[in-house]
Amino acid sequence: MEHAKHIIRAVLLLVVAVVVFVLVRHFLYPKSFGLHGYYRFDSVAEYASAAPVHGDRGSCAACHEEKAATLTRGKHASVSCEVCHAPLSTHVQEEARVAPMPVDRSMQLCATCHQKLVARPKGFPQVVLPDHAVEKGAQITNGVCQECHNAHNPSE
Amino acid sequence: MMIENDGFLFPNDLHILWKLMIVMYPYVTGLVAGAFILASLYHVFHRNELRPIGRLSLVASLGFLLAAPATLQLHLGHPERGFNIMLTPNPSSAMAMFGFIYAAYLALLVFEIWLVHRVDIIMLASRSRGVQRWFYKVLALGVYDVSEEARHVDHGVLVVLAALGIPGAALLHGYVGFIFGAVKANPWWSTPLMPIIFLCSAIVSGIAMVVILYQVGVKFSGRRIDAACMQSLARWLWLFVIISVTLELLEIMTLAYEAADEWQIIKPLLVDQLAFSFIGIQLIFGALIPIILLGIVVLMSRYLTDQIRNTLCFVASLMLLVQVFAMRWNVVIGGQIFSKSLRGFRETYFPGLFDKEGIVLAILILVFPLVFIALFNRVLPVFEPLDAGNAESLKP
């Protein structure tokens, strides 16, 4: 053992490292973790008390009645306003407009749902972009889709 | 934006979620395991002709080990949560074990490297002055015992560590293969052979990397390449490429001969979708040619000059490094470009240059270990011990 002093020191160092890890883990371990399953139970209450970010169709309709009515009449009736625009809370706080709502007129917005893909259901309206617009005789510009389709009621 | 594809896909088949960094992950851990196992041939099995690369391969292993977590961190959407895998590991997750296997292996490797360099550390402590001396003193843990008995103890511990390290390295990498092999929904991954295939190709890449590091390192430090060592490396490399490629083909031959449902999709996957990276790179450029080159070195050694042997080994090693990368690519990406319906493909994936999982960062991850080795070499010699024999005279 007399000549194994360095080994003993190295092993002690390792033990120290393990102890440090156990201590760090002890302090960082989330408090309510594993109480009711493999998650931090406190997060349930945290999420429940968070302020909502999104609204719904009705919350936009309160101020944009006409737009909402147009939307409900057409084929986009099932599409939420916030999918194409942005969450309510970025635009309205305490019932007043606080910031402009983004308006995306690009073809990419429509492509997220209408680009032709094998993985989409057969019956869903799909077109090959940008070929579709070119075939119909339009110039590809920002907002090209709006020349012929009303985003709020595409068949109009 | 435009995603073209053919056949039938489910909506969730459209995206490749395990991207370049998940190709890099088994590649880098493979280099770790391979270099370590090579080092063990010298440290445990006393293949003395491998002495010139005994230290280099250990240090290379450490360099790549330190780089490995970067691949996973870059893959994560929330890298800052990466450490949670150590805090709240879910025992039913294969991935959760990574943190612990990694940490244990790191400790073992550092311990082993320290022991191998211990006498040098003490010598350097005795030679240097000031801060430097203080630094080496700390590295030596304040013990300057270089007596015959102490060295004997070192040697004993070293053999035990290296022997523990072999299953450690096999575990570290075999389990990476297991993560793929255990995905039962994916017929291209799900096979119990996967860990072994991964391990064998890991050894191939590890040895190939050491061949290159050794040749380049020797050039830089103005030494000569040891012919016996290079010949031995070529022999081991040849053996492991043959085993590795045989296993890879065995897996595919079984699939082809069984011709079960999944072969309908795996066949076009291999001959159409992955024709370049599988047939071109993994089988021909990366395997067949190096096997021939190394075969020449192994079988016709007598007729070769050192120059030719070194060049053949160098070229074959570079090709093998590409082969193993292609193999990882074909597994990881190949497994994601066909639909779980087994009836269609999405278009192949190509990484972006500056993406989070892009080419530039992947290259940086591979460069890091090289820089690490160079820096390490400034602190402690990677090639030969400072003094082979009489350490007795050195008391700091």
Across the interface, whether the CB atoms of A29 and B7 are under 8 A apart is answered no
Whether the CB-CB separation of B206 and B30 falls below 8 Å is answered with yes
Q: Of A37-46, B1-10, B45-54, B265-274, where does mean pLDDT reach its minimum?
A: B1-10
pLDDT value for A99: 93
**Predicted structure pTM score:** 0.85
Angle made by CA atoms B345, B282, B344, in degrees to the nearest 5: 5
A30 Cβ under 8 Å from any chain B Cβ: yes
User: What is the Cα–Cα distance from B229 to B41, expressed in whole angstroms?
Assistant: 12
Whether the CB-CB separation of A68 and A57 falls below 8 Å is answered with yes
User: What is the Cα–Cα distance from B190 to B183, expressed in whole angstroms?
Assistant: 5
Mean pLDDT of B308-322: 97
Two tokens at B208? Answer: 């190939």
pLDDT value for B389: 44
Would the pLDDT of B393 be above 70?
no
pLDDT value for B44: 86
pLDDT band at B386 (very low <50, low <70, confident <90, very high): low
- Encoded amino acid at A54, one letter: H
User: What is the Cα–Cα distance from B67 to B31, expressed in whole angstroms?
Assistant: 11
Nearest-CA residue of chain B relative to A24?
B87
% residues pLDDT > 70 (chain B): 95
Average pLDDT, chain B: 91
Of B10, B88, B141, the CB nearest to A33: B88
Could you identify the residue written with the tokens 């075939």? Answer: A135
CA distance, residue A6 to nearest chain B CA (Å): 6
Nearest-CA residue of chain A relative to B103?
A18
pLDDT 10s digits, B350-376: 999 999 999 999 999 999 999 999 999
pLDDT value for B387: 54
> Cβ–Cβ contacts within 10 Å for residue B165, how many?
25
Q: Which of chain B's residues have a Cβ under 8 Å away from the Cβ of A129?
A: 2
Mean pLDDT of B191-205: 95
Residues of B numbered 320-359 whose beta carbons fall under 8 angstroms of chain A's beta carbons: which are they?
344
The residue among A2, A3, A20, A39 with the most chain B CBs within 10 A of its CB, best to mutate, is A3
Would the pLDDT of B388 be above 50?
no
Would the pLDDT of B43 be above 60?
yes
Two tokens at A101? Answer: 């709502």
Nearest-CA residue of chain A relative to B146?
A3
Across the interface, whether the CB atoms of A9 and B8 are under 8 A apart is answered no
Q: Concatenated DSSP letters for A3-63?
A: GGHHHHHHHHHHHHHHHHHHHHHHHHS-TTBTSSSSSBTHHHHHHHHSPP----HHHHHTT
User: What is the Cα–Cα distance from A41 to A48, expressed in whole angstroms?
Assistant: 12
Collapsing DSSP to helix, strand or coil, A122 comes out as coil
Collapsing DSSP to helix, strand or coil, B318 comes out as helix
Residues of B numbered 69-98 whose beta carbons fall under 8 angstroms of chain A's beta carbons: which are they?
86-88, 90
User: What is the Cα–Cα distance from B167 to B178, expressed in whole angstroms?
Assistant: 15
Would the pLDDT of B1 be above 70?
no
pLDDT 10s digits, B160-176: 998 899 998 888 888 88
Among candidates B376, B204, B356, B352, which has minimal Cα distance to B282? B204
Q: Which of chain A's residues have a Cβ under 8 Å away from the Cβ of B14?
A: 117, 119
Would the pLDDT of B390 be above 80?
no
- B188 to each of B248, B287, B338, how far by Cα in Å? 12, 20, 10
Q: Where are the domains of chain A?
A: 2-49, 51-103, 104-156
Of B14, B107, B149, the CB nearest to A119: B14
pLDDT value for B4: 53
User: What is the Cα–Cα distance from B186 to B205, expressed in whole angstroms?
Assistant: 26
Evaluate the CA torsion angle B103, B97, B24, B350 in order and state its sign.
Answer: negative
- Encoded amino acid at B136, one letter: Y
Would the pLDDT of B395 be above 60?
no
Would the pLDDT of B3 be above 70?
no
Phi first, then psi: what are they for A134, rounded to 5°?
-65, -45
pLDDT value for B384: 75
pLDDT value for B34: 96
Peptide bond between residue B69 and the one before it cis (omega within 30 degrees of 0): no
Would the pLDDT of B188 be above 90?
yes
Across the interface, whether the CB atoms of A6 and B143 are under 8 A apart is answered yes
User: What is the Cα–Cα distance from B160 to B153, expressed in whole angstroms?
Assistant: 11
Would the pLDDT of B126 be above 70?
yes
Strands (E), chain B: 5-7, 344-346
Bridge partner list, A97: A92
User: What is the Cα–Cα distance from B173 to A78, expressed in whole angstroms?
Assistant: 49
CATH assignment, A51-103: 1.10.287.3080
Q: Which residues of chain A have pLDDT under 70?
A: 1
Phi first, then psi: what are they for B83, rounded to 5°?
-70, -20
Would the pLDDT of B394 be above 70?
no
